Amino acid sequence: MTEPVVPAPFPHERAVACPAGPLLLRGAHRVRDPDGAEHTTTRPVSAVCRCGHSAVQPWCDGTHKVARTFEPTEPWHEPVASGDR
């Protein structure tokens, strides 16, 4: 029997970096990509890509599950604000 995977702590109280997976953001956030474009999310939980392979950047589409060379890194985006939701 394998041990359950526990998401790693992240310095932001409303963000969790999942091992070999996305960064989960709880509540409303704005995410700034490397080009300076801001993306807004108001979902209860949003998954931000950390593998760089997602077709729907900055959001995770599950591609990390099939990317054989993926090693989790810090997210390429910069969270710029969060709401109180």
Dist CA 71 CA 45 (whole Å): 23
For 12, phi then psi, to 5°, come to -100, 125
Residue type, position 25, single letter: L
Residue type, position 30, single letter: R
Per-residue pLDDT of the chain (85 residues; tens, 9 = 90+): 555 555 445 455 688 888 888 999 998 888 887 678 899 989 999 999 888 888 888 899 999 888 766 665 555 455 555 554 4
Architecture in CATH for domain 15-82: 3-Layer(aba) Sandwich (3.40)
